[in-house]
Chains A and B, each alone.
Chain A
Amino acid sequence: MLPHNFAHLASAEPRLRAVFSGLDRWVESHRTWPWLVPGIVARDLPTLDAFDLADALGLAVSHGLLRVAYTVLTPSGVLADQSFESPSAIPSLIPDRREYYFETGSLPIVPIYTGIKGGVPDEMAERELGAS
């Protein structure tokens, strides 16, 4: 699940106070979502500056509230099931949920943010969940 206590990070970066408040509101209204996609948040909160949102999410990562991973947007508009630690770590072929492999090289990269424990549909998260 996503954390919903971003507001306290505003003490570390007061200029981002409005962004953290927005993130808290967004998470509150998406309680069942395991991940946060910047493009969706920006669409839902259009007054937020894209770079301020990136800075706020980066700060949440550095404070251990969130983890960032990268995946690709499949041709059907759905995020691929697997996500990876870096854009450069995305393999050229990954399987869909029916085990059919598809090429990733021409698909847009999408960053996804998840809570530190649980909530990311990838092997990286499962390894961590298994270890915890």
Chain B
Amino acid sequence: MSPDARDALKAKVTEYGVLIQAEHQSSQARIRALQNRMFNEIPVEQWQTAATALDAILGKNGVIHVAETNFHIGSAGIVNTGEISGSVTGHSQLINVNENAQALLAALIQFKNAVQDDVSLTDDQRADGLSIASDLEAEAKKPKDAWNLSKIRNGIAALKTLGAGAQTILSLYQTVHPFIAAYFNLPL
């Protein structure tokens, strides 16, 4: 990297470091958004230097704190034992990611993949199944107070109806329904 390019990169990374630190309550999402913006503004070959320098700036100033986890080496490589000896501190805010949400999103992805790949379904059944799953996925990604429970109930009913005419969807519905019910606190 030429001295001029290095200076320009240094200015860019410093700018984003200051931007993130200036927000005092930078959420993880905000940090990521600014990282993405920085990557968009510099050549790919400078990403390593920029990511490293920015991480160093944020780590040094306590904006990002990586928990120190324990690892041990197994026969297949590294296995993370998940022993956490640190915590998120500094100005980072914890984002409450409900494990039920992760389970539901994973189940919906599996549902959509299975529907997409099932050649026994008609085009309409496939499109309807994917559309309903996408609607439920969109609701699951919203904050709890923004859930449209009527839409969610209708989606569940529509999946059940669709399943009546397609054994694959009925089977998938029976798998995914408990996740939907658990997450949205609806009766099974």
Contact of A46 among B33, B60, B73, B94 (CB under 8 A): B60
Listed in ascending order, the chain A residues whose CB lies under 8 Å from chain B are 33-34, 37-43, 46, 48, 50-51, 53-55, 57-58, 61, 68, 70, 72-73, 75-79, 81, 86-88, 93, 95-103, 105-111, 118-121, 125-126, 129
A50 near B102 with CB under 8 A, answer no
A111 near B67 with CB under 8 A, answer no
Q: How far is the CA of A34 from the CA of B135 in the complex (A)?
A: 42
Interface range on chain B (Cβ under 8 Å from partner): 35 or more
Contact of B52 among A54, A96, A100, A106 (CB under 8 A): A54
Q: How far is the CA of A40 from the CA of B57 in the complex (A)?
A: 10
Known: A78-B82, A81-B80, A119-B78. A109 touches B57 (CB 8 A): no
Question: In the assembled complex, which residues on chain B have CB atoms less than 8 Å from the CB atom of A108?
Answer: 28, 31-32, 35, 64
Q: A39-B64, A54-B56 are known contacts; what are 5 more A-B pairs with Cβ within 8 Å?
A: A73-B66, A103-B105, A107-B32, A118-B77, A125-B78
Min CB distance B86 to A, Å, is 6
Listed in ascending order, the chain B residues whose CB lies under 8 Å from chain A are 6, 10, 13, 17, 28-29, 31-33, 35, 39, 44, 47-60, 62, 64-69, 71, 73, 76-80, 82, 84, 86-88, 92, 94-97, 99, 102-103, 105-106, 109, 141
Interface of B is mostly: helix
Min CB distance A39 to B, Å, is 2
Q: How far is the CA of A37 from the CA of B58 in the complex (A)?
A: 12
Contact of B35 among A48, A75, A109 (CB under 8 A): A109
Min CB distance B143 to A, Å, is 13
Known: A77-B88, A109-B51. A100 touches B102 (CB 8 A): yes
B105 near A43 with CB under 8 A, answer no
